[in-house]
């Protein structure tokens, strides 16, 4: 079954308008199909808050139609927000206390913008740790994306992220190195993933923590799993990104340059824009710096029509496999085949 619109969250109507199948809660109540309740801890900044909802909702809605999917967005009160975002959150998001009270089958935790060199100094750090600690004992599986991966690796595995100098961003080819893992069933052995980060947990750090790397590339590890092979799934990249996400991010970087929040004009995301798009953006830069143009002249619509998406199919298949495994564990009480060879006494193993 598809996503269930169990609230008036605008993302549901936006996805309907895009052609996605969204079922009303009234219609869903007449279907004799089990439910999966999935939390979305959305820590993204205000400008990307609703887009992030749609990105993850879309991935889940297009996945293996094994259940009725109920999505429950929430955020952390320690994340600074503007008035519009606060209103959206107040109307459509749940509190963490409500999430804990009602329970979840699975959880997705997004990335987040940070200002501090040390994650432990971020205002949301302790709140995020509380969510992770709760989910570890009460949720079948949790996906951590980007910054969430770095935070969990720090406070659960004592592995601090390392700065990599220049921003790593663009679309990069990746290789599957754990082909037998159920999360990678039916996945191409090579596929692309978008990245956008200044820091990383290295391959060595993941290995030293006993975390298994499933997918890697020349820029490091992308997809990993906790020692029990399922309880925590780590992404360093952004498989949820829309085709236009990096273009919008490039525009935000230009805005940061114009407002003196960064000292240099941003470079293009790697392996993302074709030659014609780069030429158009170079011309825009020249006219912007000469003051003939301003940011409102950014050619977003023109370029968006020509962007390729070379990661969506793999991302969708991985999420589909993940939800299938969650469903099997929560509803079919299977003998978890992904646990073969795992020491049941291991403190990191699924209880």
Report the catalytic residues.
146, 238, 240
Half-sphere exposure of 313 (CA within 13 A, CB side): 10
Helix, strand, coil percentages (3-state) for the chain, rounded to 5, are 40, 20, 40
- Phi and psi angles of residue 164, each rounded to the nearest 5 degrees, phi first: -115, 10
Q: Give the separation between CA 79 and CA 97, rounded to whole angstroms.
A: 16
Q: Which residues contact 327 (CB under 8 A, 6 or more apart)?
A: 34, 36, 66, 67, 105
Q: Which residues contact 51 (CB under 8 A, 6 or more apart)?
A: 44, 242, 245
CB 217 within 8 A of CB 174: yes
Query: Which neighbouring-strand residues pair with 24?
Result: 5
CB 3 within 8 A of CB 24: no
The alpha carbon of residue 251 and the mean position of all alpha carbons in its chain are separated, in whole angstroms, by: 20
The alpha carbon of residue 287 and the mean position of all alpha carbons in its chain are separated, in whole angstroms, by: 35
Mutual orientation of helices 245-258 and 275-289 as an angle, nearest 10°? Answer: 20
CB 75 within 8 A of CB 41: yes
Q: Which residues contact 46 (CB under 8 A, 6 or more apart)?
A: 81, 82, 84, 85
Per-residue tokens: 27: 């219609």
Per-residue tokens: 100: 């804990």
CB 220 within 8 A of CB 200: yes
Q: Give the separation between CA 53 and CA 95, rounded to whole angstroms.
A: 16
CB 1 within 8 A of CB 33: yes
């Amino acid at each position: 079954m598809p996503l269930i619109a169990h609230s008036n969250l605008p993302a549901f109507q936006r996805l309907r308008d895009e052609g996605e199948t969204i079922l009303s809660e009234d219609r869903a109540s007449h279907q004799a199909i089990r439910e999966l309740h999935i939390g979305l801890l959305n820590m993204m900044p205000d400008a990307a808050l609703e887009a992030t909802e749609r990105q993850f909702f879309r991935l889940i809605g297009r996945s293996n139609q094994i259940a009725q999917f109920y999505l429950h967005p929430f955020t952390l009160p320690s994340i600074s927000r503007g008035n519009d975002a606060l209103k959206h959150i107040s109307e459509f998001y749940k509190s963490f206390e409500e999430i804990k009270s009602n329970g979840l089958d699975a959880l997705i935790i997004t990335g987040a913008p940070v200002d501090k060199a040390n994650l432990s100094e971020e205002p949301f750090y302790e709140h995020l740790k509380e969510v992770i600690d709760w989910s570890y004992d009460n949720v079948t599986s949790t996906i951590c994306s980007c910054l969430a991966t770095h935070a969990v690796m720090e406070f659960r595995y004592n592995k601090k992220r390392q700065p990599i100098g220049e921003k790593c961003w663009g679309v990069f080819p990746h290789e599957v190195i754990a082909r037998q893992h159920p999360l990678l069933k039916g996945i191409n052995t090579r596929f692309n993933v978008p990245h956008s980060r200044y820091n990383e947990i290295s391959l060595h750090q993941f290995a030293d923590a006993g975390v298994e790397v499933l997918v890697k590339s020349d820029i490091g590890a992308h997809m990993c799993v906790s020692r029990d092979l399922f309880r925590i799934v780590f992404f360093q990249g952004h498989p949820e990104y829309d085709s236009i996400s990096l273009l919008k991010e490039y525009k935000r970087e230009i805005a940061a340059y114009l407002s003196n929040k960064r000292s240099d004009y941003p470079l293009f995301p790697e392996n993302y824009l074709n030659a014609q798009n780069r030429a158009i953006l170079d011309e825009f830069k020249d006219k912007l710096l000469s003051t003939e143009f301003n940011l409102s002249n950014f050619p977003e619509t023109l370029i968006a029509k020509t962007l390729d998406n070379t990661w969506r199919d793999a991302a969708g298949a991985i999420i589909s496999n993940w939800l299938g495994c969650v469903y099997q564990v929560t509803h079919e009480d299977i003998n978890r085949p992904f646990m073969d060879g795992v020491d049941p006494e291991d403190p990191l193993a699924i209880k």
